[in-house]
Amino acid sequence: MPATTTPATTAVLYCRDPLNERRVDAHFAAEARQVREGGGTVLLLDHDALLAGDAERAVARVPAGSGAVWYRGWMIPSGRYAELDRALRRRGGELVVTPQAYRRAHELPGWYEAFAGLTPVSGWLPARPGQSPEPARLTALAADLPPGPAVVKDYVKSRKHEWDEACYVPDLADSAALHRVVSRFVELQDEFLAGGVVLRAFESFVAPEAAAAEVRVWWRDGVPRLVTAHPDSPVAEAGAPELEPVRAAVEALGCPFVTTDLALRADGAWRVVEVGDGQVSDLHREADRAVFAALLTTGQAPLPPGASLTHLVQHRA
């Protein structure tokens, strides 16, 4: 299913500063300024109220009749995102990215089929916060993956900074180790466990010389508009992955604003390590906020004077 073309919209709903309800959260303030300078309208959301289940209070500062708006801010669980959309609709607004499209891009079970063959083999089990799947179910899940090591995550995030403790399983055949790592992961995720437990076959990646180990590609309406380093990268220079196979997968996913994180496998193949909804994907600290803001307000990423190759992907589209 090809991605549908979304109309240009100039209203962007940002998380507000928790200490000042009239200001954008400091993490997104520079980006919001560029949206305003580009002719866009900045609206404010109380993210804490939304997560607490009070969607009406969360959108209290959004003017009635706001029409279609993008969201840009901290991650929102898919259920809360649907509540946000309903609250906006009661005020004459709506999210450009529907709750269905958000879930599809945000959670691995939603995007995995479209990217099969481009991403590590994966399997998953639904689970509630604080409840690790039974060892027998984990063993059965592991049996469907290639033998060897794997990584553990939920439908949205891993705990890669606790690699040995709550992320990496050296051998899926070691049921005790598998259960221990998964149980610790579920414990550390606590109430933030998203959807369930995912096992992904481990693949060995290498960092291109003088470039980020992971590249984040920003897709608007199925077209790659911007390439940046992953936000965790200490360097800003991004590599130049082959995007045609990824383009086909993004088109099949059919979501209007998507990010794909790619890494170079040791055998030279670029692999998709993560997919996300662009509204809740973070930017590298050195990325050009004006270029990014134009993705929201005009649907294009203009090439600024002296831009690096990270901006040229739009001309290959």
pLDDT at 234: 80
Contact in structure between 143 and 184 (CB atoms under 8 Å):
no
Per-residue pLDDT of 137-149, as tens digits, reads 999 999 999 999 9
The pLDDT-based confidence of 6 (bands split at 50, 70, 90) is low
Q: Helices 29-37 & 289-297, crossing angle to 10 degrees? A: 60
State percent of the chain over pLDDT 70.
91
Of 135-139, 197-201, 285-289, the one with minimum mean pLDDT is 285-289
The pLDDT-based confidence of 241 (bands split at 50, 70, 90) is confident
Q: Are strands 67-72 and 93-95 parallel, antiparallel or unpaired?
A: parallel
Q: Hey, how many other C-beta atoms are within 10 angstroms of the C-beta on 165?
A: 13
**Rounded distance between C-alpha atoms, residue 106 and residue 231, angstroms:** 17
pLDDT at 305: 39
Coil/strand/helix, residue 228? strand
**206-316 has which CATH code?**
3.30.470
- Among 216, 162, 203, smallest CA distance to 185 is for 162
Q: Is 121 buried (19+), middle (13-18) or exposed (0-12) by CB count in 10 A?
A: middle
Coil/strand/helix, residue 184? helix
All structural domains of the chain with their residue ranges: 11-103, 121-202, 206-316
**Rounded distance between C-alpha atoms, residue 297 and residue 38, angstroms:** 7
CATH architecture designation of domain 11-103: 3-Layer(aba) Sandwich (3.40)
Contact in structure between 270 and 242 (CB atoms under 8 Å):
yes
Contact in structure between 295 and 281 (CB atoms under 8 Å):
no
Per-residue pLDDT of 107-135, as tens digits, reads 999 999 999 999 999 999 999 999 999 99
**Rounded distance between C-alpha atoms, residue 71 and residue 95, angstroms:** 7
C-alpha torsion sign, points 2, 262, 139, 196: negative
- In DSSP terms, 150 is beta-bridged to 169, 201
Q: Give me the chain's average pLDDT, please.
A: 91
**Rounded distance between C-alpha atoms, residue 75 and residue 261, angstroms:** 17
The amino acid sitting at 172 is L
